[in-house]
């Protein structure tokens, strides 16, 4: 039986970029996308209260996934049906 992993995103502040969508694989941040539209004041408030990631945080997460052969954009891994990959 194979284990399924989940990719999801959250609105977060990224140092040097501002408010973005940060993508996670089972809780490990690995990439981000710029926002196409204003997410609204409630989401902005929630993001301000959450951990602010740095580009180094995402680099370390992405590097770890590549070393383990588990990067969802580069490797074939079993993702659950709720996973949301970046565009």
**CA neighbor of 86 nearest in space, from 45, 74, 50:** 74
Q: List the chain pLDDT tens, one digit each, 87 residues.
A: 468 999 999 999 999 999 999 999 999 999 999 999 999 999 999 999 999 999 999 999 999 999 999 999 999 999 999 999 887
Report the C-alpha gap between 55 and 68 in whole angstroms. Answer: 20
Contact residues for 52 (Cβ-Cβ < 8 A; gap 6+): 12, 13, 14, 15
């Amino acid at each position: 039986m194979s284990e399924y992993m989940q990719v999801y995103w959250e609105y977060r502040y990224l140092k040097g970029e501002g408010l973005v969508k940060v993508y996670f694989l089972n809780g490990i941040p690995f990439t981000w996308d710029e926002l196409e539209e204003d997410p609204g004041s409630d989401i902005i408030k929630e993001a301000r209260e959450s951990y602010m990631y740095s580009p180094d945080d995402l680099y370390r997460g992405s590097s770890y996934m590549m070393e383990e052969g588990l990067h969802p954009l580069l490797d074939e891994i079993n993702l659950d049906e709720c996973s949301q990959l970046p565009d």
